[in-house]
Amino acid sequence: MKQIIKGKKYDTDTATKIYEYQNEYGYSDFRYVIETLYIKKTGEYFLHGESGAMSKYCQKSGSNTTCAGAEIIPLDRCEAFDWGSDNMPVDKFEAHFGEVEE
């Protein structure tokens, strides 16, 4: 997915994928959510999210209906760190962000 946000280009094909999180619902369920954290060559982070028609990235497709959708959300390092600490396994988190104190 490619998107220009505030004059900057975000491209999932050219950025480096750090981690992909998927909730417990399968792709065919309206409640599925997949979020992928990326880092651009410039060091900027972004989140690519997609979901079914009953989840956070859904899009309106009529006056009372929704469908699956996708979105790119730019993140600063602190926001990426917070997302990672909530969604990534410890080993993968520390491999990217560095070791965290106990």
Mean pLDDT in consecutive groups of 10 residues from the start of the chain, 102 residues:
95 97 90 96 97 89 86 97 96 94 86
Q: Is 3 helix (H, G, I), strand (E, B) or coil?
A: strand
Domain count within the chain: 1
**Can you give the residue range of the structural domain that contains 53?**
13-25+34-90
Task: Answer whether residue 85 is part of any domain.
Answer: yes
Task: Answer whether residue 48 is part of any domain.
Answer: yes
Task: Answer whether residue 102 is part of any domain.
Answer: no
Residue whose C-alpha is closest to residue 48's, from 11, 84, 66, 73 = 73
Q: Is 82 helix (H, G, I), strand (E, B) or coil?
A: helix
Task: Answer whether residue 41 is part of any domain.
Answer: yes
Task: Tell me the pTM.
Answer: 0.89
Please tell me the distance from the alpha carbon of residue 38 to that of residue 21, in angstroms, as a whole number: 12
| pLDDT of amino acid 82 | 97
Task: Answer whether residue 97 is part of any domain.
Answer: no
Contact by Cβ (8 Å): 25, 33: yes
Overall residue count recorded for the chain in this entry: 102
Neighbours of 47 (CB within 10 A): 20
16 HSE (CA, 13 A, CB side): 8
